[in-house]
Amino acid sequence: MPVGLANALGEAWGADVTVSGLSSTTAGARRQNIVFTAAVDGEQRRLVATIVPAGETLINSIAAEAGVRAVAETAGVVVPHVHLARDEGGAVGGPFMVSDFVPGETVPRRVLRLVAERGIGDLVASQLGESLARLHGIEPVCVGVPLRTLETPGPAPEAALAGLAGAVDELPQARPAMALGLRWLERHLPPAPPRPTIVHTDVRNGNVIVGDDGLRAVLDWEGALAAGDPMQDVAWPALRMWRFREDAAEIGGFAGRAPYIAGYEAAGGAFDEERFEWWKVEGTLRWAVGLAAQAMAFLDGRVPNIVMAASGRRVSELEWDLLMLIRA
């Protein structure tokens, strides 16, 4: 792997590169993240190689993910700078990209501890809102590589609802709470967003890097959508499951909604509370369905991984969250 990384970087930078000090990080559930040092022209650069194991399903290609990150960085979103991306990755074991190493905390409980110690919860929330607004301000045509699109034709809320209805129907047993959630979503279906935008789809506590000075990077762009409802992004970090027992702080367990939305609007975002609340319900149901599907994948032998089995234990918790959201 060191030789493969050195050769790829040397080709990208047009210089001789040596690679040393490789070590795996704890970040990333499905990908391998290798921190290393690259020496070039007498300079030592701390970098991260993100590698998709051979055979792993890609939501977006590595090139597309790197492309949207580059455009987002230009627009002012805090992301680690990408130096190269390769969809073919024989030299390192799979498709990969190399980006700058950004120091800070990524593990949610550590993020919450740091934020509490430094008293920067409102700051991080505001910065997160600002980055999302800058992402949503990008014209989708500015991304020069193809990103995934909605699986079902139509406006984003309708497409999401159709996908959820199909996923609930595929579960092996009836889930009354999920059925109730679907009916609520149908009755409260919002209009299409005035302007579809690029959507990250997974911005939350656990997919960000936070340091003493606040938000340092937004991570995990593999699921980015070419055009969707920006309120899907804005609502996602507000779900209770991303608060990690700090339920009183709606945004990631570290801040209330006010500084988050203020940061979003100050950077040009248009907040829509009706659609925001709808996507909170949709996201909670979507995650409950996803966890149920993971548990089934373990039970039927498709994925013999204990993590998948453990996912099933949280389905009822998500159903409770769902009922609490729609009880009004």
The per-residue pLDDT for range 108-144, each reduced to its tens digit, is 999 999 999 999 999 999 999 999 999 999 998 888 8
pTM of the model: 0.93
β-pairing, 43-51 vs 32-40, is: antiparallel
Q: Which two tokens stand for residue 297?
A: 């994948």
pLDDT in tens, 250-305: 999 999 999 999 999 999 999 999 999 999 999 999 999 999 988 888 888 887 77
Q: Which two tokens stand for residue 40?
A: 């070039």
Confidence check: pLDDT of 28 > 70: no
Which residue has 């009922």 as its token pair?
Answer: 323
Cβ–Cβ < 8 Å for 249, 243: yes
Ordered by where they begin, the domains of the chain are 2-100 (3.30.200.20), 108-326 (3.90.1200.10)
For CA atoms 307, 277, 68, 78, give the dihedral sign: negative
Confidence check: pLDDT of 29 > 70: no
Query: Residue 31: pLDDT band by 50, 70, 90 thresholds?
Result: confident
Determine the Cα–Cα distance for residues 199 and 221; give it in Å rounded to an integer: 9
User: What angle do the packed helices 156-170 and 176-187 form, to 10 degrees?
Assistant: 160
Buried b (16+ CB within 10 A) or exposed e, 233-257: bbbbbbbbbbbbebeebbbbbbbeb
pLDDT in tens, 187-199: 999 999 999 999 9
